Amino acid sequence: MEDKMILENYDVSPEISQNVDKDILPTEERIMDNVSYLFSFLGGCVSVGTFSMGASLIGTLTIMQAILAMMIGCLVIAIGLALVGVAGHKYGIPFTIQLRSTFGTTGIKFPGALRGIPAIVWFGFQSWIGAAAINQSLDILFGFSNLPLVFGAFVLLQVLLAIKGFKGIKWLENISAVFIIITLAYMLWVTVTTYSVEIKDAFSDIKGTWGMPFWAATTSFLGIYSTMIINSSDYTRQLDRNTKAKSQVGIYTAAILPVTLFMGMIGLLVSAATGNSDPVAVFSSTLNNKFLTVITLFFIAFAQVSTNVLNNIVPPSYILMEAFHVKWVPATFIVGVLSIIVMPWKLVTSETAELLGLFTRFYSAFLGPIFSVMVVDYFILRKQKLDVNMYYDKNGPFKGVNWAGVIAVILGSAVSFNLLDMSWYVSILPTAVAYYFLMKYMKSAEKFRVGTIFE
């Protein structure tokens, strides 16, 4: 009875809903229980970028410092996901709708691009790595090798899986979760046992530091998932209504931490021992057993599917739907095409680890401020009470651009660029203060104060 009351209170009026794509209307059916949700994030966080982030720490941190940096990054991610996702969990709205009060129906193109571009780049990069693993497997088994063809087919496969929406994602992630943990544990064991001498030598002279390089490392690991944080509502709107925010923090931590630790440590140790941060190249040359080599390469490919579908296809597809009025199916295909246009093969070079670390810190300088604006708007200005009809009414008070949100993000990002190694952290407070006072005093923000403490 309680769930029925909630749905009735949060329903969009028929007059407004008839002009809204059904895929972004408030979610009535919650298809994920806590276990499915945990498995979804566990599978969705297996990013090849984590190998590279681990590799980028060589020569800077000790092994224990690297582990601690990963743990801190993961904990911040878990808290951020829970905070931003409260609105989606309570009201069933996706992040493109949630952004309307902070940026306006037209202004969401600004944060949408900042969320969508990194997702598309990661989609392309991870698809290229996954395709390379598949191509290597085909070469081992059948003597067939055509990486461009395999890459195109691999991108298409992921797009087709994404078209099925979260029901398809739930099925995919539930199957992959156990396989992922077992394979990652095996890969770490192979790394430690095969290169024990080289690893010991590589770290023997490293004293480490608790200064800026350490906190920069936490930013790098945080940055990999900072894109997920701002569209957390896309995930929580599918989660059982009875799951509290504190429980969600626990779920996120339990899902993200082990995967990040395994992959980050594999990247760190493999690169330290061999000088190569490409897991496909390392594991295809390290394992003498053909069967185990193929299984490991298959895992690398499969892991990219589970991550890309959840984190790198769905969010930019929602953005295209909201900002450019594209339907769900063509939106997913457009994202696939864009992931090829970014030429991910150019990113897989000897300098990849360093460049990816810089890339994550760069876009984190924008995503941290967006996170800050969303949290202030929902928890402080609106006291967690939304009028869903206003959010879906494109001719309502949120029509146009909320310059308070745009300016606050620009100011927060400017602060971040002065300390890029800690971009996400240093942007939070300046952005929050700027947004609060801009919303309170800025004349053009007057209509966006509807429903806030300033009304």
Quick: pLDDT tens for 325-375.
Answer: 888 889 999 999 999 998 888 776 655 556 666 777 788 889 999 999 999
Q: Which residues span the domain enclosing 245?
A: 31-95+109-351
Contact residues for 106 (Cβ-Cβ < 8 A; gap 6+): 399, 400, 401
Q: Where are the alpha helices (DSSP H) in 45-146?
A: 48-55, 63-91, 95-98, 100-103, 109-142
pLDDT above 70: residue 17: no
What does the pLDDT look like over 110-142, one tens digit per residue? 998 888 888 898 899 889 888 988 898 888 888
pLDDT above 50: residue 241: yes
Task: Determine the Cα–Cα distance for residues 371 and 229; give it in Å rounded to an integer.
Answer: 7
For residue 300, the model assigns a pLDDT of 72
pLDDT above 70: residue 175: no
Half-sphere exposure of 389 (CA within 13 A, CB side): 8
Question: What CATH number is attached to the domain comprising 314?
Answer: 1.10.4160.10
Using a pLDDT cut of 70, give the percent of the chain over it.
86
Residue 387 in domain: no
Residue 453 in domain: no
Using a pLDDT cut of 90, give the percent of the chain over it.
35
For residue 8, the model assigns a pLDDT of 38
Residue 326 in domain: yes
Residue 137 in domain: yes
Domain count for the chain: 1
Residue 439 in domain: no
CB crowding 146-182: b at 16 or more within 10 Å, else e: ebeebbeebbebbbebbbebbeebbebbbebbebbbe
Determine how many CB atoms are found less than 10 A away from the CB of residue 218: 22
Residue 397 in domain: no
The single-letter code of the amino acid at 416 is S
Q: How confident is the model at residue 165 (pLDDT cuts 50, 70, 90)?
A: low
3-state secondary structure (DSSP) of residue 21: coil
pLDDT above 60: residue 295: yes
Residue 56 in domain: yes
pLDDT above 80: residue 448: yes
Mean pLDDT of the chain: 84
Of the ranges 1-15, 143-157, 223-237, 307-321, which one carries the lowest mean pLDDT score? 1-15
CB crowding 60-79: b at 16 or more within 10 Å, else e: bbebebbbbbbbbbbbbbbb
Q: Where are the alpha helices (DSSP H) in 99-244?
A: 100-103, 109-142, 147-163, 165-194, 196-203, 212-230, 233-236
Residue 13 in domain: no
Task: Determine the Cα–Cα distance for residues 217 and 65; give it in Å rounded to an integer.
Answer: 10
Task: Determine the Cα–Cα distance for residues 237 and 62; give it in Å rounded to an integer.
Answer: 40
Determine how many CB atoms are found less than 10 A away from the CB of residue 210: 10
What six digits make up the tokens of 332?
Answer: 């997913």
Of the ranges 97-106, 215-224, 227-236, 421-430, which one carries the lowest mean pLDDT score? 215-224
- Residue listed under structure tokens 């890309």: 308
pLDDT above 90: residue 431: yes
Task: Determine the Cα–Cα distance for residues 277 and 257; give it in Å rounded to an integer.
Answer: 21
